Amino acid sequence: MLKTQSRWLAILLALAVIATACGGGSTDDAQSESGDTTEADDSSGDDDSGGDSDGDDSGGNVDESADGSDVASADDGADVQTGGELRIALQTEADTLNPTNTPLNRAPTLIATAIFDTLVVIDAEGQWQNNLSESWTPNDDFTSWDMTLREGITFSDGEPFNAAAVVATVDAFFSDPLTSLVFAPAFDAETPVELIDDLTVRFNASTPNAQLPTYFAEQIGMIGSPAWLAARNDDPSLDQMPIGAGPFVIEERVQDRSTVLVRNENYWNPDQAAILDRIELFTDSEGQADSTVSSLLAGDIDLLHLTDATPILQLRDEGDAITRIEDQSGEEFIMLMNATIAPFDDIRVREAATAAFPQSAYAEFITQGSADSAQTLFSADTPWHNPDLVQLGDQPELAGPLVESYCADVPEQCTDGRVDIEYQHDISDELTRMATLVGDSWSEFFNITLDVVPNDQHITQVTLGAYDTATWRYHGFSDPDVDSIFLSCNTIGALSINFSRNCNPERDALIAQQRASTDFDERYAIWTDIQQNLIDSFHYIVVEHTNWVVAADPAVGGICDATTPDGIALPCQNGGVVRLPQLFLTN
């Protein structure tokens, strides 16, 4: 039973740990029936609020040499080869590709977005845009939204794409005890979704939510064929062969090895139909990113994505020989501290650990310039970044008095004047190096028992709250409101996706306030207060902004050509996810 629980928890938390849907700050519009921004909404993806966003509008790229500007584009007259086959190496894998019962990390999300078009997408400016939807109309207080679908869409199996299909998919999502943990708190518990007519669905929020359409750029917006959903109830193996309304269909899948996609010849939007005939995606199940880069350089694969420091630096050294697009707008690498059990239930211990954390040494010896050090949840590539917010770190002189005070009050949690703690991480050479570095810095103040466990066990224990401090990678949804599920009191339970289990009513009130607002300046100011609240509570040490790198052979074009059906540009990549239908090979 424990093995089964661990497996499912690993699947569930993959969404949160590795990718939580997609990166990038977004500022969303409350839209009228025509799809235009309502007069009351002046939100913008541009950081005109006074926040110092250093990013550009291309999805949060690290530097000019990695922004996709040199990628071959059909719009610029590239010599496009019709058809052809592409080979892609992926960093991770999921048990299945069924979005209604399997939260997807970044690699399966890349596959799934080719099979399932989402209801909305996030554009290159960070704003949500219609995709399968045609319009979203809120009521006066944003507690419900009526979504109207585009007409004339069919699933790849010929089934009609209609409101009933949306309701069936969302019902399946919320009926599953695992996937429902992620988004259910944002929706009305009794009636989250209603069928209005053949093309209209009503979504009901748990609280006023002006950002609700953004949620459907994520996994919950991947709508499956009702015939497939019904068949998989009798044959769960069909979770490996999902059917959506996307530009590709899945031809073959061998879990933990490869997935083959072929062009959907009956795709509903001929202007955005797939150019390639076939894409084979390989899984780097051994985590050997260095060898994957070697395969790219040798021509054995055409495109890859990764986050590891050493291969990122190697790819940068290749210069123009490799197309490289970097994105730090999404996930954060964090040290969690469990706020519900000793010793980290005491803020003095959490503050001491934060003050003594070797931020500068971590940047020098672990990331080595492959990713930016972090102070808060938002990188400079997002419009939500505030450079004035600074967490403690590299100040070990502040830790001593805090530890001395704690040990005087709680001597049973201390030995020889140091606090006894357990430090948990999963199996990784880089995490082992980090543990050595952090252990050296903390050794004056903490007696550390290192607990290195397999990934599924690590996820299980953190989710159950059975840890002291642990490394974690998550956040990075397209709008920070979606990320609030990781910060709220109502997501703490026996299984908690508020992983630090830090309940703060003041923070909950701020979250509710920004959720109901359509004004970017107001939301920016509130999110500054939320981040300051997180800094002051000392249950996170935000270590680095995860750098997702997509690299490709220069013969691969179209990486930055993706648009919405209305012609609005999408990011070149987002947290390692590229849009597959616009990819092509040059002649």
Question: Over the stretch 40-98, which tens digit does the pLDDT of each residue have?
Answer: 333 333 333 333 333 333 333 344 457 788 888 988 888 999 999 999 999 877 778 99
Q: What's the pLDDT score for residue 178?
A: 75
Structure confidence at residue 58 (pLDDT): 32
Domain of 504, in residue numbers: 332-545
Predicted local confidence at residue 387, as pLDDT:
95
Higher pLDDT, 4 or 212: 212
Per-residue model confidence (pLDDT) at position 288: 59
Q: What 3-state class would DSSP assign to 291?
A: helix
Total-model pTM: 0.84
Spatial CB neighbours of 160, under 8 Å, sequence gap ≥ 6? 153, 154
Average pLDDT, the chain: 87
Q: At residue 302, does pLDDT exceed 90?
A: yes
Residue-level pLDDT at 290: 66
Q: What's the confidence (pLDDT) of residue 269? A: 92
Starting at the edge strand found earlier in the chain, the sheet holding 144-149 runs 133-138, 144-149, 200-204, 193-197
Give domain status of residue 537, yes or no.
yes
Q: b/e string for 536-574 if b means 16 or more Cβ within 10 A?
A: ebbbbbbbbbbbbbbbbbebbbbbbbbbbbeebbbbbbb
Q: How confident is the model at residue 331 (pLDDT cuts 50, 70, 90)?
A: confident
Q: Identity (one letter) of the amino acid at 504?
A: N
Whole-angstrom CA distances from 480 to 177, 331, 379, 514, 530 are 24, 11, 12, 10, 11
State how far the Cα of 96 lies from the Cα of 104, in Å rounded to an integer.
Answer: 9
**134 dihedral zone (left: phi>0; alpha: psi -120 to 50; beta):** alpha
Which of 9-18, 41-50, 366-375 has the largest mean confidence? Answer: 366-375
Residue 101, in any domain of the structure: no
Residue 206 has pLDDT above 80, yes or no: yes
Question: 443 lies in a domain?
Answer: yes
Token pair in block for residue 182:
């992620």
In a domain, 447, yes or no: yes
What CA–CA distance (Å, rounded) separates 148 from 293?
44
Q: How many residues would you count in the chain?
A: 587
Measuring CA to CA, which residue among 129, 137, 130, 171 is closest to residue 151? 130
CB 161 within 8 A of CB 233: no
Lowest mean pLDDT among 49-53, 152-156, 352-356, 463-467: 49-53
pLDDT value at residue 308 = 87
**CA distance to 34, 182, 299, 461, per residue, from 345 (Å):** 51, 25, 52, 17
User: Which of 37-46, 59-68, 217-226, 348-357 is predicted with the least confidence, judged by mean pLDDT?
Assistant: 37-46
Residue 120 lies in a domain: no
User: pLDDT class for 255, splitting at 50, 70, 90?
Assistant: confident
Burial 196-230 (b: 16+ CB within 10 A, else e): eeebbbbbbbbebbbbbbbbbbbbbbbbbbbebbe
> Is the residue at 354 inside a domain?
yes
Would you state the pLDDT for residue 286? 55
Instruction: Return the bridge partners of 258, or none.
Output: 254, 282
Segment 493-518 mean pLDDT: 94
Within 13 Å of residue 4, how many CA atoms lie on the same side as its CB? 2
Pick from 89-93, 187-191, 424-428: least confident? 89-93
Q: How far apart are alpha carbons 174 and 218 in whole angstroms?
A: 14
H/E segment holding residue 203: strand 200-204
Residue 344 half-sphere exposure, CB side, CA atoms within 13 Å?
A: 27
Strand-pairing partners, residue 479, are none
Residue 193 has pLDDT above 50, yes or no: yes
Q: Tell me the percentage of the chain whose pLDDT exceeds 70.
A: 88
More confident residue, 94 or 399: 399
Nearest alpha-carbon partner for 137 in 222, 195, 213: 213
Q: What is the mean pLDDT of residues 472-490?
A: 89
Q: Is the dihedral of CA 12, 18, 21, 25 positive or negative?
A: positive
- The structural domain count of the chain equals 1
- DSSP letter for 392, please: -
Measured at the alpha carbon of residue 499, what is the angle toward residues 495 and 504, in degrees to the nearest 5?
Answer: 105
pLDDT tens-place string over residues 273-291: 999 999 999 986 555 566 7
Q: Can you give the pLDDT at residue 94?
A: 75
Whether 368 maps to a domain, the answer reads yes
> How much is the pLDDT for 284?
66
CATH number (domain holding residue 442): 3.10.105.10
Predicted local distance difference test score (pLDDT) of residue 65 = 56
Report d(CA 78, CA 61) in Å as an integer: 23
Which of 198, 195, 196, 213 has the alpha carbon at shortest distance from 145? 213
The tokens for 386 are 């505030």
pLDDT score of 22 more than 50: no
Contact status, residue 8 vs residue 236, Cβ threshold 8 Å:
no
- pLDDT tens digit sequence for 551-570: 999 999 999 999 999 999 99
User: Nearest CA to 482 among 152, 143, 28?
Assistant: 28
Does some domain include residue 158? no
pLDDT attached to residue 103: 74
